Structure 1
Amino acid sequence: MALAIFDLDETLIHGDCSSLWSEHMARLQWVDAESFVKKDHELMAAYARGELAMEEYMAFTLEPMAGRTPEEVAYDVEPWVEDVIEPLIYSAATRCIAAHRQAGDRILIISASGVHLVQPIAERIGVEEVLAIDLQVLNGVYSGQTQGTLTYREGKVKRLHDWLDAEGENLEGAWFYSDSRNDLPLLGLVDKPQAVNPDPVLREHAEKHGWPIHQWQ
């Protein structure tokens, strides 16, 4: 049995769940639709260029949730996952996960999105174990802040190593599937890096190093 690790956004789903959730918060009238979505798109463009300060993005996107209970947010996330996210799940991704499960591999999603989104999406895909950006809860409500190490770039590596230690696991024979240059630190650690619909920087790196490249539709 080996670990089969998956990024989420643009790897398992055709889109970025954080940005899609920002658009949904606009529909819920939690934010000013035009200005908030415009700012979100600007920050996501910086992410695509590998220039995003994740702390800035999370502070921006979590602010509308400050003062809301996790239960209140989950109440709106659940139908959003069904209506918006489920149609975006790559069928090739579900087949890949099924093949790893059939092989007896342990499946883990590690994402640079908030756990309030990643956990229910993973459950819809059929994956129980996730590492994602944790949200601070104070006095029963979201504070609008994150907590702990952010699962982004080298932060994914740190969080994964902490998880491996806690679970008594290792990376021998491990797979990692990702679309993004931001995941090169983790892709470089595993025995079987897999580029999925890669951005230009990751594609060039994958071709140079002979990594498999998948086009999932």
Structure 2
Amino acid sequence: MKNLALFDLDHTLLPIDSDYEWGQFLVRIGAVDALEYKRRNDDFFAQYQAGVLDPVEYLEFALGTLARYPRTELDAMHARYMEEVIVPAIRPQARALVQRHLDAGDLVAIITATNHYITAPIARAFGVEHHIAAMPALDAAGRLTGKLAGTPTSGPGKVTHMHAWLEGLGRQFASFERSWFYSDSHNDIPLLSVVSDPVATNPNAALAQHAHANGWPLLHLFND
């Protein structure tokens, strides 16, 4: 594989935020206290949009919610979430973009700040084997503890985790002739600045401005 293609997930390949929508789903099915959970989820989402989110605080809020449930019950809820929320949100143009890189023989990965439990099935739905995400800590029996294992996969953390993932495959970033990263967010400027082909995809205002200033291409997968 001569080339590398990396994709952010939320608002890049999906027109929604999978983490926020998971919280909304839990509220809708009555799995959490509606008023309190929605208040905290909305607050964290506003912080993310403003670029001031503490990733560890948010991840441990989200992972703490996951840890409340037996794994069988949690998996059943997640299967329903995929069917009702995620699969209907996957657009053909996003699938086609990923498939183009897969068909070209590129090494493809989704790299997201959202936790691994929520996003692993979404990566599989896109046909992507490699998936880099915030990892939940597990106890000796393999149950979620509600804590984060390691460091967040957000901002400059995406660069660190990308290098660690490649090293685990016996590869070096410098060995690729070309490298793409598709993202919607200014929070991903650290990784966008490292690859040979940064693509501001459905960019927010801050990323669009940065992309224009640096001559990066803009890609609009979604019109809504």
TM-score range, shorter chain: over 0.9
Aligned to 1:62: 63
> Normalising to structure 2: TM-score of the pair?
0.92
Mapped to 2, the partners of 1:215 and 1:186 lie a distance apart of 19
1:41 to partner: Cα distance: 1.3
1:198–1:213 contact (8 Å) kept in structure 2: yes
> Normalising to structure 1: TM-score of the pair?
0.95
**Deviation string, structure 1 residues 84-131 (Cα, Å, up to 9, x no partner):** 111112322111111111211111000000111111011111111100
Mapped to 2, the partners of 1:115 and 1:132 lie a distance apart of 5
1:177–1:195 contact (8 Å) kept in structure 2: yes
Amino acid at match of 2:162: L
Aligned to 2:220: 215
Mapped to 2, the partners of 1:62 and 1:72 lie a distance apart of 15
Aligned to 1:185: 190
1:4–1:107 contact (8 Å) kept in structure 2: yes
Amino acid at match of 2:155: R
Aligned to 2:208: 203
Aligned to 1:89: 90
1:179 to partner: Cα distance: 0.2
Aligned to 1:165: 167
Aligned to 1:74: 75
Mapped to 2, the partners of 1:68 and 1:115 lie a distance apart of 16
Amino acid at match of 2:163: H
Aligned-partner SS, 1:153:
coil
- 1:70-149 map, 5 Å: 70-138=71-139, 139-149=141-151
1:156 to partner: Cα distance: 0.9
**Deviation string, structure 1 residues 60-81 (Cα, Å, up to 9, x no partner):** 2222222434443222112211
Aligned-partner SS, 1:184:
helix
| Distance 1:71-1:150 versus aligned 2 partners, 3 A rule | farther
1:189 to partner: Cα distance: 0.5
Q: Greater shift after overlay, 62-71 or 162-171?
A: 62-71
Amino acid at match of 1:129: H
Q: Greater shift after overlay, 29-38 or 196-205?
A: 29-38
Mapped to 2, the partners of 1:156 and 1:192 lie a distance apart of 16
Q: How many residues in Structure 1 have an aligned counterpart in Structure 2?
A: 217
Amino acid at match of 1:207: H
Aligned to 1:153: 155
**Deviation string, structure 1 residues 122-172 (Cα, Å, up to 9, x no partner):** 111111110001001113321111101211111111111111111122333
1:74–1:116 contact (8 Å) kept in structure 2: no
Q: Greater shift after overlay, 72-81 or 195-204?
A: 72-81
Unaligned runs of 5+ in 2: none
What's the RMSD between the two structures over aligned residues? Answer: 1.3
Identity over aligned residues, as a percent?
A: 36
1:30 to partner: Cα distance: 2.7
Q: Greater shift after overlay, 57-66 or 172-181?
A: 57-66
Aligned to 2:199: 194
1:176–1:187 contact (8 Å) kept in structure 2: yes
Mapped to 2, the partners of 1:104 and 1:111 lie a distance apart of 22
